[in-house]
Structure 1
Amino acid sequence: MSSMGELTFFLGLQVKQQPDGIFISQDKYVADILKKFDFWSIRTTTTPIESNKPLVKDEDGVDVDVHVYRSMIGSLMYLTASRPDIMFAVCACARFQVTPKASHLNAVKRIFRYLKHQPKLGLWYPKDSPFELEAYSDSDYGGASLDRKSTTGGCQFLGRRLISWQCKKQTIMANSTTRVQN
């Protein structure tokens, strides 16, 4: 690598090496997909998904072009390599790739509107950071409105460096009972 010069671009990831750390982003890719799907002139939003309006099957909704929807989802999935902030929203929309409706397409468009608002976010890896592993997780315990399955997410840090993140809908529903004693 030294004969090729300093690493600045690798597999679509922009790498900015600075004396105090490394910044990895995909802002060029964000610009490319905004242009590809003609989202340059849209209004922006500050969040990638509406928190009080869960996505549902919407069987009575208007059908949309499956190929365009899947292309948009695929583009967003690739972007999650450096953008954990959109991981949950993209995964929620990806569940409807078989029969997407207008409401699902609107949710995907909201992610693009968010990206237009925040195109240059990425991952910062500071040079001087403690070498301690920390992990965080959260679950909504039956919060999926369609099947009442839990969604679990988490992230792992090595010092102040985010090294891994995930969001997963559980495959089974946990049943529990509570008994009150007098």
Structure 2
Amino acid sequence: MQEELSQFQKLHVWDLVDLPGGVQPIGTKWVFKCKTDDRHVVVKNKARLEGIRLFLAYASYVGFKVYQLDVKSVFLYGKFHEEVYVTQPPGFEDPHNINKVYKLDKALYGLHQAPRAWYETLSKHLLSNGFDRGQIDSTLFIRKAGGDILLVQVYVDDIIFGSTNEEMCREFEQDFLSKYKMNDSSTYGTPIPVNHGLHPDKDGKDVDCKLYRGMIGSLLYLTASRPDIMFVVCLCSRFQSQPKESHMIAVKRIFRYLKGKPRLGLWYSKQQSFNFKAYTDSNYGGCNLDRKSTSGGCQFLGDRLVSWQCKKQSTVSVSTCEAEYIAAASGCSQILWIHQ
């Protein structure tokens, strides 16, 4: 806690002042755990993962090296333009100025303005140094010099960048098994049986909701690089409100499958083809509860898989043809985004 406050002082985050009349200060508190949503999935601000995979696919195509930077205390670098006052941190009040508050000069964790302030500070610096911002993905920055190109992709406090000229880069400068005590479990060759029969199972035995949601959250994180579990994870996530023992068995099978296939992942080879290909598919009435169909899709640049989807359709299709058209329409939306 003291180290955190020392960082505030070093970066001139705030000044201790008298509270102006008619102003309500924002309360402060210490947070010692990750913030989660109502499904107990960790909340993170992030760029679209497709954008990052497109970046990596292009890097493999043109053959440049990719670097990564992590900015420590990232939000403390964001400059504020409005007046914001916060109370003194609990346990660290100034005994000689107990009634004073801090006026913020830089962004602070927990404020809605913090990510925006950091992004504005960083983007202003990049734009003033010869970078252009992506017209569709505003977290992508491009700099061209002669026949070379430097790409910078920003996602909160992490930055990945690469260039066709390594000199430009120099200038710019799983384990979930142990968490759920499944190290000694047997493995499976597939993440789910073909005829799985998963349904709400209202008469089944209840299981720990928090544990089930935590396991689902971990698996949802893994779907960013493991398309092979995308369908079954999305299927099991439908039962988070009232998970039963049958659902827990299905989730544990996914972990056992992952244990047996630890080296499966994405491979972005360096080959000449960079042609765009997209595929869509759909089942028909696959959900046992409401008879809604599930759309699936994937998109490739050459042989590089850069994006994939699996989502239950919002309406009930009356034929396999209608279900396929809905999946195709969803796939077209993704295609247009990637083309842009």
TM-score class normalised by the smaller sequence: 0.7 to 0.9
Residue 247 (structure 2) pairs with residue 93 (structure 1): no
Residue 180 (structure 2) pairs with residue 44 (structure 1): no
Q: Distance in 2 between matches of 1:110 and 1:129?
A: 39
State, as a whole percentage, how many aligned pairs show the same letter: 59
Query: More strand per residue: 1 or 2?
Result: 1
**Equivalent pairs, count:** 154
Q: Which has the higher contact order (CA 8 A, sep 6+)?
A: 1
Between 1:68-77 and 1:127-136, the stretch displaced more is 127-136
Gaps in structure 1 of 5+ consecutive residues: 12-28, 177-182
Structure 2 counterpart SS, 1:126: coil
1:136–1:156 Cα contact (<8 Å) kept = yes
Q: Distance in 1 between matches of 2:304 and 2:278?
A: 11
Q: Which residue, 305, 313, 316 being the options, matches 1:162?
A: 305
Cα gap change, 1:142 to 1:66, in 2 (>3 Å): same
1:105 positional shift: 0.3
* Structure 1 vs Structure 2 CA RMSD: 2.0
Residue 228 (structure 2) pairs with residue 72 (structure 1): no
1:19 aligned residue: none
Gaps in structure 2 of 5+ consecutive residues: 1-64, 71-154, 156-173, 320-340
One-letter amino acid matched to 2:288: S
Cα deviation code 1:59-106 (max 9, x no counterpart): 000000000000000000000010000000100000000000000000
Larger radius of gyration: 2
1:175 positional shift: 2.6
Structure 2 counterpart SS, 1:35: coil
1:121 positional shift: 1.1
Q: Distance in 1 between matches of 2:272 and 2:228?
A: 22
TM-score, structure 2 normalization: 0.43
Q: Which residue, 91, 105, 110 being the options, matches 2:253?
A: 110
Structure 1 counterpart SS, 2:228: helix
2:295 aligned residue: 152
1:174 positional shift: 1.9
Structure 2 counterpart SS, 1:82: coil
Q: Which of structure 1's runs of 4+ aligned residues deviate more than 4 A? A: 8-11
